[in-house]
Structure 1
């Protein structure tokens, strides 16, 4: 959706609602695109503030950095006689 500056000012609440529900809203002045209004979550994602869960997992250490070696000695013996 495209909004002229004057219309965006007059219908600001609607502009914000549409940015949240319908996606980015472009603001124009004399037919030239000058700004875009986007939902805050989209802004944070674009800015890199929000990492989705998959990216969070991928950013962790590789398995080669983890100590996954198991002690192969036998467990201690248990006296079952009491």
Structure 2
């Protein structure tokens, strides 16, 4: 179970944060009440990396692959009637 630690507490108990990450999973660190970073075991990190798919595989497996999408670029001239 992920535990949330305030930054100052995590700094003071870093060994405990690391042990908790190894035993219980990712540990969330907050800074000024905002979730900022996560401490997780190297094994879990590597596992996440190995589960990633290349972008090309993502598109090949997309449900939209069966549709004939028009991906041609619009070549119309730029609009000049817009003032910024």
Question: Does TM, scored on the shorter chain, surpass 0.5?
Answer: yes
* Cross-structure match for 1:72: none
The one of 16, 20, 33 equivalent to 1:14 is 16
TM-score calculated relative to the size of structure 2: 0.56
* Cross-structure match for 1:30: 32
TM-score calculated relative to the size of structure 1: 0.57
Write the mapping of 1:42-53 to structure 2, written as runs, cut at 5 A. 42-48=44-50
Aligned residues: 49
What is the aligned-residue RMSD (CA, Å)? Answer: 1.2
The list of structure 1 runs, each at least 4 consecutive aligned residues, that deviate by more than 2 angstroms after superposition, is none
Flag structure 2 segments of 5+ consecutive residues without an equivalent: 52-84
Flag structure 1 segments of 5+ consecutive residues without an equivalent: 50-82
Q: Deviations over 1:20-70 (max 9, x none)?
A: 001110000111000000111000011118xxxxxxxxxxxxxxxxxxxxx
